[in-house]
Chains A and B, each alone.
Chain A
Amino acid sequence: MKHPIKFTVNGTPYELSVELNELLVDVLRNKLDLTGTKKGCGTGECGVCTVIMDGKSVNSCLILAMEVEGREILTIEGLGERDQLHPIQEAFVNQGAIQCGFCTPGMVLSAKTLLDENPLPTEEEIKLAIAGNICRCTGYRKIVEAIQEASRNLRTKHQKGGDVTAQVDPKAKGR
């Protein structure tokens, strides 16, 4: 039994037919071919399925397609362009914060929501912000340093009055 839903992903509106028990992560990956969002634990513990919905980071493995009616979603594909990375992506590359890359989309999106709310986070705040994203490869040190670099670069860009990379930024609906 299929049901129609309308929602926006990375600035593009979609109208889809979904099953009642279909999950957002599967809609993104299988119906929209946005495979940057990964599947890991399936129970909201590992964070590889992290997307940003209405400005808030969420685990897409625990959200029904039915629940995203009218919502705006940002996936990793919506951040930066191939030839111009978002400052957070750039920082991850510069700092060597990517090994196998599987946790990276979720980490970058968690970093984005952190820096959007708190442009000057302490190390402790960074660690708590990525507590919902598990990395098996790096030991987290370089990821934290990447987020620190991104925080510096984003602030510099703002101070210079610069445009912070073409990106889709769904409006945050309050906290």
Chain B
Amino acid sequence: MRNLPRFNYFKPESFEEAIETLQEHEGRIRPFAGGTDLFTSMKEKGLICANVLDLKGIKDYDFIREANGNIEIGALASIRSMEVSALIGKKIPFLSEAAGRLGSVQVRNRATIGGNLCNASPSAEMAPSLMCLEASVEIVEEKGIRVIPLENFFVGPGETALRGVGLMRKIIIPLLPQNSAGTYFKHSPRRAMDLAVVSVGCVLHFDRDKKKCMDSRIVLGAVAPTPLRAKKSEAVLNGREITKKEIAKAGETASREAVPITDVRGSAEYRTAMVKVFVKKSIREALKMIRS
């Protein structure tokens, strides 16, 4: 029942060694850490790959720490470790809630943040909240290291700025300033295991008097080829006091920015409708948190 195809297996001990191996076998090799995406692809989608690269030989990149006003997370940190992290729970609670929505405990114990982002599913669980937090990612390539905004990392479904030859090493998340709050909602048939039908990440930044929304981020998952920043919806909120009118307009606008497809998880029409519902809900919840 569901065997894996044959492959060669590499286990480098550093990112440098890993990059070299990726180069050497370019086009015929897949990196993995938790294996929860790679092996399910092989079993369910018939993915065949001559070589696999186990990244777990690279030590000390599973950290979750505070540094320079940011939270830094090593790409090899498990989703479970993010879910239960006291630091994230205290400083960015909605991020640990987002982590808790991925799969099940068993999956989260293996799945890594690097893997979830680099697999680049349109419904990547961790993408909306991290994009709302304006996270950036550190990439290791043959020519060196670079840092890019996560927003620019996703190129298409399953395609990233890594282009098959790079590796993500670290995620850098600015701490939420005062008078800001974030939420993550995942709409799915069950409360666990399912992929999102629609997901929404939302962060609102208010002024000192908590009257006007100075800036916002609204990111939609599962309704576009990549996680999608709903910029027009954000523009409805920015610089304004937020009343029922703005909330309704933001929801309506976001539902028009989304470009969902119809698939087994839902029709395009249903997803469009749910974008509106969940964007409105996200804004209301974030407002509640700021005003309390």
Query: Which residue in B4, B7, B110, B192 is a CB contact (below 8 Å) of A128?
Result: B192
Contact status A21-B105, CB under 8 Å: no
Chain A, range 18-53, C-beta contacts under 8 Å to B? 19-21, 23, 39, 41-45, 47, 50
- Chain B interface residues (CB < 8 Å from chain A): 1-9, 11, 34-36, 39-40, 43-44, 54, 56, 80-81, 84, 100, 103-107, 109-110, 190-193
> Total interface residues on A, using CB and 8 Å?
32
Contact status A132-B106, CB under 8 Å: yes
> Does A67 reach chain B (CB closer than 8 Å)?
yes
> Does A153 reach chain B (CB closer than 8 Å)?
no
Given A64-B9, A66-B9, A67-B56: A59 in contact with B106 (beta carbons within 8 A): yes
Contact status B107-A42, CB under 8 Å: no
Given A21-B6, A57-B105: A42 in contact with B54 (beta carbons within 8 A): no
In the complex, given contacts A23-B3, A62-B36, A128-B100, what are 7 additional A-B residue pairs having Cβ atoms less than 8 angstroms apart?
A: A41-B2, A42-B43, A43-B44, A44-B103, A50-B106, A128-B105, A131-B105
Inter-chain contact total with CB atoms closer than 8 Å: 91
In the complex, which of the residues B1, B4, B100, B105 has the most CB atoms of chain A within 10 Å of its own CB atom? B105
Least CB distance from B254 to A in Å reads: 29
Nearest 7 CB-CB pairings of A with B:
A132-B104, A42-B2, A131-B192, A21-B4, A56-B109, A20-B9, A132-B106
> Does A61 reach chain B (CB closer than 8 Å)?
yes
Contact status A44-B107, CB under 8 Å: yes
- Chain A interface residues (CB < 8 Å from chain B): 3, 19-21, 23, 39, 41-45, 47, 50, 56-59, 61-64, 66-67, 110, 113-114, 128-129, 131-133, 175
- Which residues on B sit within 8 Å (CB–CB) of A129? 105
- Which residues on A sit within 8 Å (CB–CB) of B4? 21, 23, 64
- Which residues on B sit within 8 Å (CB–CB) of A114? 105
Least CB distance from B115 to A in Å reads: 12
Given A67-B35, A67-B56, A131-B191: A175 in contact with B81 (beta carbons within 8 A): yes
